[in-house]
Amino acid sequence: MPTSTNKPLGILALAGVGPYQEKAGEEYMGEPQLAHFKKILDAWRIQLREEVDRTVTHMQDEAANFPDPVDRAAQEEEFSLELRTRDRERKLIKKIEKTLQLIEDDDFGFCNSCGIEIGIRRLEARPTADLCIECKTLSEIKERQMAG
């Protein structure tokens, strides 16, 4: 079963697509590329929503009032871990929806910091990326320096 921690090819496979093959002279983020990424993001969002639904069903089915405190604690810990994972996925779904809106607004694929092309391969690895690799690297260096 695929999870939200899929590697890039996992995300592509989930959407039923392979790595994008650019054609000579093709415009960056023209219709074919935008359709490619929309398909990837839609499939990823659907998969995450299905996982949320499975978690709710699982928790409802498995919720038991164990008389043994150790069993009850183990179940509560399991549920706690599942809920934290689903919370991260809920935030990811919001980020996916924001990225889908960027596609609709024809503002997808460009760095929020410097404005250059993020690049097809980087976007296939992380479809919600909003920084080019250079700006992301610089941002991470600044974060480490601020953390001390």
pLDDT tens digits for range 96-123:
999 999 999 999 999 999 999 999 999 9
What pLDDT score was predicted for residue 9?
Answer: 53
Average pLDDT over residues 22-42: 96
**What pLDDT is recorded for position 4?**
43
- Rounded to 10°, the helix 31-62/69-104 angle is 160
* pLDDT band at 3; cut points 50, 70, 90: very low
Q: Give the pLDDT of residue 40.
A: 97
**Whole-structure pTM value:** 0.79
Query: Rg of the chain's alpha carbons, rounded to an integer?
Result: 19
Q: What is the mean pLDDT of the chain?
A: 88
Average pLDDT over residues 85-92: 91
Residue 90's CB is within 10 A of a number of other CB atoms, namely 13
Is residue 111 a known part of a binding site?
yes
Tokens representing residue 87 in the block: 């919370």
Is 81 annotated as a binding-site member? no
72 is in an annotated binding site: no
Among 105, 147, 106, 107, smallest CA distance to 130 is for 107
Q: Give me the mean pLDDT over the 43-50 stretch.
A: 93
Domains of the chain: 8-110 (1.20.120.910)
Task: Give dist(CA 118, CA 143) in Å, integer.
Answer: 21
